[in-house]
Amino acid sequence: MKLIRTVQTIREQIKKARDKKIGFVPTMGYLHDGHLSLVEQAKKENDLVVMSIFVNPLQFGPNEDFERYPRNEQKDAKVAKEKGVDILFMPSVEEMYPEDMSIQMTITNGTDVLCGSSRPGHFDGVATVLTKLFHLIQPTSAYFGLKDAQQFAIVNTLVSEMNFPLSLIGLPTVRETDGLAKSSRNVYLTDDERKEAVALYASLQHAQKLIVDGLNNPATIIMEVKKVIKNRTKARIDYVDILNYPNLQKINVMNGQVIIAIAVQFTHARLIDNIILSANGERVDRLVQGG
């Protein structure tokens, strides 16, 4: 595995691989099984796998956890190598943003719901860093976990409208044995909160069962999801919502593909989870867009 830290060197390496299919896995590090499942799929479908590890300051608000976001570069590099990553791009903030950005990217659709409504500017920062990374890596396909389904939808719009010549692959959320979605922020949970956190996925499963059983009123389903979370956790609910997907628009009745998404705030950890369902309530675990 080649570990690269500079823009110039990654450009040189990508230029040498111009005739190869490149699978790209962008991450913020502190790697877990969710990230590694993306690498596994990228290896199956490409000649070369490139992973980036970069905690992007542009997508953190002034009161968010950029400084304390978990990092472990040495462990991440070891894990990436063992998993078969060919090139690990791990730049510094100064390397990615040597000067203050004079170009501001603004996402105008799909950001006033879910996480975007409480994190103004977050997806602008995501779009900016991914634009830079897509230009540098020039991937054939880029792989994202559907735990961040709003991000996947917005990146799809970015790729489509900016005419990036790549496919986006959305893969299933990887979970602990008790159902909790794997996340770098899970380390912030207390022991009691970790036990309570299983209620998040349980609430989504409850919602899916209601839909399969014929309930098609989003407001009623949202109320039922909130009830599960409130009864089983002490967390503060940030949002519970049902939107069509990937357009991320409000709906009055269940028809077509939808996302049921939740976010809750524990003492020191904000956790998100979701499921994407077809019109008849079947789980959608893989999405391919573009290409």
| Contact of 126 with 59, CB cutoff 8 Å | yes
Q: Please give the positions annotated as active site.
A: 35
Tell me how far apart the alpha carbons of residues 184 and 140 are, in angstroms, rounded to a whole number: 27
Could you tell me the maximum CA-CA distance found in the chain, to the nearest angstrom?
56
**Is 232 annotated for ligand binding?**
no
For position 127, what pLDDT does the model report?
95
**Is 281 annotated for ligand binding?**
no
**Is 90 annotated for ligand binding?**
no
| Contact of 187 with 70, CB cutoff 8 Å | yes
Q: What value does the mean pLDDT take over residues 79-103?
A: 95
What is the rounded average pLDDT for all residues in the chain? 94
Q: What value does the mean pLDDT take over residues 79-92?
A: 98
Q: 252: pLDDT confidence band, cut at 50, 70 and 90?
A: very high
Domains of the chain: 2-171 (3.40.50.620), 184-283 (3.30.1300.10)
Q: 171: pLDDT confidence band, cut at 50, 70 and 90?
A: very high
- 3-state SS, residue 285: coil
Between 219 and 101, the more confident residue is 219
Half-sphere exposure of 101 (CA within 13 A, CB side): 16
Asked whether the predicted pLDDT for residue 66 surpasses 90, the reply is no
**Is 285 annotated for ligand binding?**
no
25-37: per-residue pLDDT in tens?
999 999 999 999 9
**Is 32 annotated for ligand binding?**
yes
**Is 290 annotated for ligand binding?**
no
What is the side-by-side order of every strand in the sheet holding 2-4? 2-4, 87-89, 48-53, 22-27, 141-145, 167-171, 287-290
Q: 268: pLDDT confidence band, cut at 50, 70 and 90?
A: very high
Q: What value does the mean pLDDT take over residues 113-141?
A: 93
Q: What value does the mean pLDDT take over residues 199-225?
A: 97
N residues, the chain: 291
**Is 146 annotated for ligand binding?**
yes
Instruction: Specify the pTM.
Output: 0.92
Q: Which long-range contacts (CB under 8 A, 24 or more apart) does 120-125 make?
A: 120/61, 121/58, 121/59, 121/61, 122/59, 122/60, 122/61, 123/59, 123/150, 123/151, 123/154, 124/58, 124/59, 125/56, 125/57, 125/58, 125/59, 125/60
Q: 90: pLDDT confidence band, cut at 50, 70 and 90?
A: very high
Q: 272: pLDDT confidence band, cut at 50, 70 and 90?
A: very high
Q: 279: pLDDT confidence band, cut at 50, 70 and 90?
A: confident
Q: What value does the mean pLDDT take over residues 182-203?
A: 96
For position 131, what pLDDT does the model report?
97
Asked whether the predicted pLDDT for residue 291 surpasses 70, the reply is no
For position 69, what pLDDT does the model report?
83
Please report, rounded to a whole number, the percentage of residues in the chain having pLDDT higher than 70. Answer: 100
Burial class for 106, CB neighbours closer than 10 Å (0-12, 13-18, 19+)? exposed
**Is 182 annotated for ligand binding?**
yes
